[in-house]
Amino acid sequence: MDEKLKELKCIVNNNSVQDKKLKLFRERKNQLLNLNNDDDNDDNHMEQSDTENRLNEYRLILSKTDNDTSKDDKLIEFDKHVEALLDGVAQKENDSDAEIQLKGGYVNVIDPISKKRIVDPVKNTICGHTYDQESIMQLLKINKKTRCPVIGCKSTEFVQLSQLRPDIVTKTYLEKHPE
């Protein structure tokens, strides 16, 4: 599993690098088109050497593209998803009650806030409870000093958006077991 995870991360990383290069390419293309349009409007035609200089400059910029993806939004989101998934697996391996629940086929799909079926599950990384993203967001808009709404939760910390991660395990269950 570790090798597949590394391979997947490498693919996402390469995708991020290519995305950066594509954005840079589009920006530079627009700059070149604008320069060309400006030259046409001035009735000055670009000389061949001027065009070659601009293309060489363009190639140089593309070759020096920063391949550091540590701050890339897509890669950060991917890492959060993987972390949430691995935390869920580790927690279920260490928790005997969770093993009983899994064997019994019990997964809570009812949102503790709205009392409706969860549509977009997010997990609180502090206490491990899962909520529907829309209802927890509405609750936090009303009161920023909200604690976990699950009855009997021992967490005394206020719920913060930074603590919420997509719950891939519950999302997969919901997709496999529609109402």
Confidence of residue 47 (pLDDT cuts 50, 70, 90): low
**Tally of structural domains, the chain:** 2
pLDDT of residue 40 exceeding 60, the answer is: no
Confidence of residue 99 (pLDDT cuts 50, 70, 90): very low
Work out the average pLDDT over 150-159: 92
**9 and 86: one domain?**
yes
**Is residue 141 in a domain?**
yes
Confidence of residue 148 (pLDDT cuts 50, 70, 90): very high
**7 and 89: one domain?**
yes
**C-alpha–C-alpha distance, residues 8 and 83, integer Å:** 14
The predicted structure's pLDDT at residue 176: 85
**Is residue 14 in a domain?**
yes
The predicted structure's pLDDT at residue 46: 52
Beta strands (DSSP E) in 97-149 are 121-124, 130-132
**64 and 138: one domain?**
no
Task: Return the DSSP state at 164.
Answer: E
The predicted structure's pLDDT at residue 97: 43
The predicted structure's pLDDT at residue 170: 86
Between 165 and 48, where is the model more confident? 165
The predicted structure's pLDDT at residue 144: 92
**2 and 90: one domain?**
yes
| Burial group, residue 41, by CB count within 10 angstroms (0-12, 13-18, 19+) | exposed
| Burial group, residue 54, by CB count within 10 angstroms (0-12, 13-18, 19+) | middle
Instruction: Provide the sign of the torsion angle of the four alpha carbons 177, 92, 9, 109, taken in this order.
Output: positive
| Residues 2 and 10 sit within 8 Å (Cβ to Cβ) | no
**Is residue 113 in a domain?**
no
Average pLDDT in the chain: 77
Q: Residue 134: which domain range? A: 121-176
Q: Is the pTM above the cut of 0.75?
A: no
**Is residue 144 in a domain?**
yes
**Is residue 111 in a domain?**
no
Between 54 and 174, where is the model more confident? 174
